[in-house]
Amino acid sequence: MKKILYLTFCFVSLISHAQTISGVVKNSSNSPIVYALVCQTNNPNIYTKTNSKGQFTIAGTNSTNFKVAALGYETKLATKGAIITLETDATLNADVKYHISFDHLRKGNSYTDTELKNDFNCAYGKGVSDGSAGSDRTSVDYDISRDPGGVSLKVKFPKGKLKTESSGIDTRIPLSNTYKNNTFESRDLYISYWIKFSDNFDFTKCGGKLPSLGGSTPGTRDENRWKGRIMWRKGGAIQFYMELPDNSFNAEDGQRFWGEKTKEGSGICEFEYQSYLGKPGWHNIELHYKFETPGKNDGYFEGWVDGANHAIMDATVFNNYLEPNTPRANITTNYLLLSAFLGGSDLQDYAPIADQYAWFDEFKVSTKRVNEFNKYSTEDNKLSLEETKEVKLDSFNAYPNPSKGLITLSKEVEWRVFNFAGDFVKKGTSTTVDLSNQKQGIYFLKTTNETTLKLIVE
């Protein structure tokens, strides 16, 4: 009987051991990667995070496919444990200093305050679950993302709720290349990210805040803290919303709002400007912050949406702003403000009448323009981004370019047009292309012989 019990115990132990796999995640310098995500590829709900030594144990066998991901590294698929080496994120280079694709976040609802702090090395977070009522507004979406098969951050704006305590998400992520453990600071930086609003998103409301860059000396609040925010406004308009240390914005409506005014009104929630974000689908936002050189009035704040639609707050905004021998002399850019919420005041003109959502993906911080892409490769009804040069033959061209949407081709060809997000717009065989009913921005015309032209609609 004892022998039978012993054999049974060994058999059960063998089964238990066979259903888990262990390993360690390291970088190319052989250093352990802490808090890396390891999850089953076909069932990402089964996941774990590496410990302080880069070690992990997860359910599975040597034939189970796993995804291994960490901030600052290339995501890797693995089928065995042992040592898994992650290479540095290929997006990071001499220009791109920071990149978030959210691939290193585990799938599911109730993304927590503790996870946020560990995943991004940040000090606080609002809109992530901390156990308090209404704090659970952020989740990780494995089904909707800008990059096929990728991951995005889904943010909830609850019915009737305003401000960071009750709406959206609000946190500061230090601009550090975590694989080098250093903090990056600059007075001249770009940020680019993608945003998608839910189909029921109500753009008749007054507006809300969107992610941006900012800066402050750690541990201080008012002396040199600034936020280079933008807001979406009624109708899908965009507004610069620079918060400077003295709480000034230094611009009138005509300079803060992008584009032209389309509707008069007596207040901020009544008049309307040109719509940029009202159409469905993914939108790309890129912002550039340049603080003045000491003694020169050369600072500015500019932005683009969907690769075009440029707007700028010029040097008059920052004139004489950096003052020697004061905290302003130390103004710098050192954090990503992952902040999106409705309102900013208690006006019910801001409050949604139903729960609504936005998805965020592919944050990049760079010392140069991020989205100057020239050529796209195609699938049947989709264009995917490639950082290669535009193909434009001398014998084939388009004019005028930029245009108001009516474009003439130098010869008759079969063509297809895609927008900046890579979505199919229209096709035809002709010497003319009519994009006058499309929104302003960058489009790509691709012919059957693989020629690609970049078209700008103003």
- Each residue of 356-413: pLDDT tens digit? 999 999 999 999 999 864 333 334 445 544 433 343 434 578 888 888 899 989 888 8
pLDDT for res 62: 83
Going by CATH, does the domain composed of 19-86 fall within 3.50.50.60? no
Question: How far apart are alpha carbons 324 and 305 in whole angstroms?
Answer: 35
What are the residue ranges in the chain where pLDDT is below 50? 1-17, 177-182, 373-381, 384-394
Question: What confidence score (pLDDT) does residue 7 get?
Answer: 37
pLDDT of 106:
95
Structural contact between residues 236 and 285, judged by C-beta atoms closer than 8 angstroms = no
Question: What count of other Cβ atoms lies within 10 Å of the Cβ of residue 73?
Answer: 24
pLDDT of residue 410: 85
Distance (Å, rounded) from C-alpha 121 to C-alpha 117? 5
pLDDT recorded at residue 55: 97
In Å, how far from its chain's centre is CA 153? 9
pLDDT in tens, 178-208: 333 445 567 789 999 999 999 999 999 999 9
Using alpha carbons, select from 337, 345, 341, 343 the residue that is nearest to residue 358: 341
pLDDT digits (tens, 9 = 90+) for 37-70: 999 999 999 999 999 999 999 999 888 999 999 9
User: pLDDT value at position 293?
Assistant: 72
Of 119, 105, 27, nearest in space to 73 by CA: 27
Tokens read off for 447: 């012919």
Distance from C-alpha of 210 to C-alpha of 238, rounded to nearest angstrom: 10
Per the CB < 8 A criterion, the answer to whether 301 and 289 are in contact is yes
HSE toward the beta carbon, residue 205, CA cutoff 13 A: 28
Three-state SS at 26: strand
What is d(CA 115, CA 133) in angstroms, rounded to the nearest whole number? 18
- 432 burial type by CB count under 10 A (0-12 exposed, 13-18 middle, 19+ buried): exposed
Report the CATH number of the 96-366 domain.
Answer: 2.60.120.200
CATH of domain 378-457: 2.60.40
Distance CA 71, CA 101 (A): 8
Portions of the chain given CATH number 2.60.120.200: 96-366
For the chain, give every residue range classified as CATH 2.60.40.1120: 19-86
Q: How far apart are CA 247 and CA 66, in angstroms?
A: 49
